Amino acid sequence: MLPKLCGSFAAITLGLASALAAAQGIDGARDCIKDPRGNELQFFIENDSFGSSDQYYTNGLKLGVGVRGECLYGLFKRPSDELLKKIRELGGSDIGKASNFGLFIGQNMYTPRDITIAAPQPFDRPWAAWSYIGTAAQVVTDNRLHTVEVDLGFVGPPALGKQVQTFWHEQVVDAPTPMGWGNQIRAEPGILLTYVHKRRIGDADGLQLIPHVGFSTGTIMTHVRAGGLLRYGRRMTGFGPDGIEPGGAMLKNTRVDDGAGGDWEWFVFAGVDARLVGHNIFLDGSLFRDGPGVQRRDTVHDLTSGISMRIDRLRFSVTRVKRSEEFRTPVSSGGKQRFYSINVGYEFR
């Protein structure tokens, strides 16, 4: 089912983008479907049930495709590309290098500890879901990666959290039916802008340090972040494992510009990401309507470890995430959380 889903999404995305580009007279746009080289299909899943729990950040899905710039009409690539140029101008970076682009669709779900309770649970994490589409722009310059991602979507019932989790629990994994989705945060549109900057220090064969800084802002979430990752491996490309978080995925064209080569690569890694949080709709509740919410902690950190490998065109990584407590209530604390993040990517050459 997954290969069919990934293939269908890639065909629809490339087909729509190519049709729009061709309508604007962009040379070579009609060849984007016939010649998909320079593109990459990526699938992400994060789930706490891999760590024997079913609470808080309970599931994340993201499907994306990195495409050549000539395949995309400005409606798709302009928001992220223009923001990337502005940010790099402010930082004094050269903006002459062309950006690479990606399109994403995803969903995140959040629940309290006990999903079998139908009544409101004011002293636990609110039920919430976020479904979105996004566009990303990236460029690599002198061992530095700049990424901008813009996501648009909905929280609340239009995000289809109830339908997806109920189907998964009843039809796929034979888990308890979630009963409390009637108490989720209210429906409203959302926007999220993310910028991430990474540097790479060290050799492709051996040990590398990859520090990062960034921020997200919008109606969904506002935070600043900093951290780093240490990895050891052979023939390493990119800037660490691809992640589901906004700005976390690399695009295949970027890896080509980065000098990617060889039939295989592998590395093991460990890292930390610290965030100073000013707003989180999944904890604070709706910006525009009354609804459930809890007291958010202003500082949160993730400790990560895992392994990544590539064999020819297929890339695979597994990341274990240990997240610090995100909230507190008058009667209890939110507790730490552990979950796994899995990424599969396929490069078209």
Supply the CATH number for residue 323's domain. Answer: 2.40.128.140
Query: Which of 1-15, 40-54, 111-125, 209-223 shows the lowest mean pLDDT across its residues?
Result: 1-15
The pTM of the full predicted model, rounded to 2 decimals, is: 0.86
What is the pLDDT, as a whole number, of residue 215? 96
Contact 157, 182 (CB under 8 A): no
pLDDT at residue number 14: 47
Q: How far apart are CA 148 and CA 262, in angstroms?
A: 28
CA distance 297 to 304: 20
Least confident interval from 59-63, 258-262, 288-292: 258-262
Q: What percent of the chain has pLDDT over 70?
A: 80
Domain that holds residue 142: 2-348
**Burial letters for 309-323: b for 16+ Cβ neighbours within 10 Å, e otherwise?**
bbeeeebbbebbbeb
Q: Tell me: pLDDT of 132 over 90.
A: yes
Q: What are the tokens at 281?
A: 């709709």
Q: Distance (Å, rounded) from C-alpha 173 to C-alpha 185?
A: 26
Residue 322's pLDDT band, with cuts at 50, 70 and 90, is very high
Q: How confident is the model at residue 21 (pLDDT cuts 50, 70, 90)?
A: very low
For 238-267, what is the mean pLDDT? Answer: 80
Contact yes or no for 294/283 (Cβ under 8 A): yes
Predicted local distance difference test score (pLDDT) of residue 199: 95
Q: Most confidently modeled of 113-127, 159-173, 250-264? A: 113-127
pLDDT in tens, 149-178: 999 999 999 999 999 999 888 877 778 888
Domain count of the fold of the chain = 1
Say how far apart CA 75 and CA 77 lie, in whole Å.
Answer: 6
